[in-house]
Amino acid sequence: MSMWWLALPILLLPVWWHRQKRERIKALPLATARFLPRAEPQQLRVWRWTERLLLLVRCLLLLAAIALLAGVTIPWRGDTVLVVPGTDAAWLERQLADARFTGAGRLATADPFAYLVAHEGEWKAGARLMLAGAVPMPAVQPTLRHHVELRTDAKPLSPSDHRVAIVSKRAAQWRALFAALDGPQRYAVSDTPDARTELVVWDVPEAPPASLHAPLWWVGDASAFPELRNAPSVDGIRYADSPRGRLWTSKDWPVAGADAARALFESWQRLHYAPVAFTAPSLALDPTPSAPLLNDGGAWRDRILALIAALFAIERILAHARRR
């Protein structure tokens, strides 16, 4: 249970600072004062508040700070469709009509699950949510307070081009490896490395020029690279870092056989490129009322910060005007 309301008594501090005590002395006529016994003046202390506008601004400033620190989020969103950018518009309209989400609001985000987990407090209780498009599958199914329906549309991998340079007397064997690859990834093989080369296959005993750099080198003759002399080995591949880039070498290169080639390319893709996200299946997630909320303030955080900045500026102006 949130206990942020325990900080509200702090609002009494400006009220205490702005109080003013006025003393009212009960006076007697001068003609009779000399005949009266000596007594202490009778005083009446009455509370008055000065600078009421400044008092109001300071109370509002403290209240905004409490709201910011407590992460208070006011639910304001209703039924919403979280759409992955690039989703086919016609397919999306069919899904919305089928699920009766036609009048729901739309929100574009590349990772709907991550956004929903971080901002779920923005949605009202009972709001329905739909995630549409090529929704990335999270590692663990999130626990949410709202009913969530997934309507996913898996897309094939986008084609990508990769530049490879082969410097070797066995260039035909190396080229055969890249020519056998299929799929959306296309490999442009050349004999001369340049600044855009992602992989250099260096299979000659001569050392490469010092100005030549690449993210990864496949070294067929390790004698040209002193960094590989005492390099550690994993799965038959020795590796080392150098000023030119990361170095890989193996005594079995160029690889022979489909299994060895597949293992080599899988290691290359896994270690040097971002992982490809799997698309989540279409399903419905039942709500869990006890699921925790991330108190990040959601969309209200920026508004509260802007309000605090404005109130602070007004408070400083009023305080300066009072001193003058």
Tell me the chain's radius of gyration from C-alpha atoms.
Answer: 36
Higher-confidence residue of 2 and 266: namely 266
| Domains identified in the chain and CATH numbers | 4-73+299-323 (no CATH), 80-156+278-285 (no CATH), 160-272 (3.40.50)
Four-CA torsion 141, 144, 148, 150, nearest 10 degrees? -20
Specify the pLDDT at position 23. 54
Report the range of poorest mean pLDDT among 159-163, 183-187, 204-208. 183-187
Report the range of poorest mean pLDDT among 237-241, 246-250, 276-280. 276-280
Q: In what order do the strands lie in the sheet with 245-249?
A: 185-190, 160-168, 199-203, 216-219, 245-249, 237-242, 233-234
Most confident of 3-12, 42-51, 54-63, 155-164: 54-63
Per-residue pLDDT, averaged over 291-307, amounts to 74
DSSP-derived 3-state class of residue 186: strand
Higher-confidence residue of 221 and 298: namely 221
Enumerate the H helices of the chain as residue ranges. Answer: 12-17, 30-33, 52-70, 89-99, 112-119, 171-179, 258-272, 300-323
For residue 261, CA distances in Å to 115, 257, 270, 293 come to 39, 6, 14, 47
Rounded distance between C-alpha atoms, residue 275 and residue 269, angstroms: 8
Listed in sequence order, the residues at least 6 apart from 217 whose beta carbon sits closer than 8 Å to its beta carbon are 199, 200, 201, 202, 225, 242, 244, 245, 246, 247, 248
Specify the pLDDT at position 1. 40
pLDDT digits (tens, 9 = 90+) for 122-153: 898 889 999 999 999 998 899 999 999 999 99
Rounded distance between C-alpha atoms, residue 52 and residue 289, angstroms: 44
pLDDT digits (tens, 9 = 90+) for 15-37: 777 766 555 555 555 555 555 56
Q: Calculate what percentage of the chain has a pLDDT beyond 90.
A: 38
Rounded distance between C-alpha atoms, residue 14 and residue 118, angstroms: 35
Q: Is the dihedral of CA 292, 294, 300, 301 positive or negative?
A: positive
Specify the pLDDT at position 47. 59
Specify the pLDDT at position 102. 87
Banded model confidence at residue 93, pLDDT cuts 50, 70, 90: very high
Q: Which residues pair with 81 in a beta bridge?
A: 106, 130
Burial of 221 (C-beta count, 10 Å sphere; 0-12/13-18/19+): middle
What integer best gives the mean pLDDT of the chain?
84
Q: Is the pLDDT of residue 83 over 90?
A: yes
